[in-house]
Amino acid sequence: MTILYALVARGSVVLAEFSSASTTANSIARQILEKIPGNNDTNVSYSQDRYIFHVKRTDGLTVLCMADDTAGRRIPFEFLEDIHQKFVRTYGRAVLSAQAYAMNDEFSRVLGRQMDFFSNDPNADRINRLRGEMSQVRNVMIENIDKVLDRGDHLELLVDKTATMQGNTLRFRKQTRRFRRNVWWRNVWLTVALVILLLVIVYVVMGFVCHGPTLPSCLK
Determine the pLDDT at residue 153. 47
Average pLDDT over residues 168-189: 76
pLDDT tens for 50-109 read 889 999 998 889 999 999 888 888 889 999 999 999 999 999 989 888 999 999 999 999
Contact 108, 42 (CB under 8 A): no
Same domain, residue pair 122 and 212? no
Q: Identify the domain containing residue 196 by its residue range.
A: 169-219
Please give the residue that has the higher pLDDT: either 7 or 23: 7
Q: How large is the average pLDDT for residues 171-195?
A: 81
Q: Which of 159, 186, 207 is where one domain is finished?
A: 159
CATH value at residue 116 = 3.30.450.50
Out of 130, 159, 188, a domain closes at 159
Whether 138 and 61 share a structural domain: yes
Confidence (pLDDT) at 135: 43
Choose one of 108, 137, 159: the last residue of a domain: 159
Q: Based on the domain organization, do 154 and 179 belong to the same domain?
A: no
Which pLDDT belongs to residue 43?
87
Shared domain check, 61 and 155:
yes
pTM of the predicted model as reported, rounded to 2 decimal places: 0.57
Q: Are residues 57 and 149 in the same domain?
A: yes
Number of domains in the chain: 2
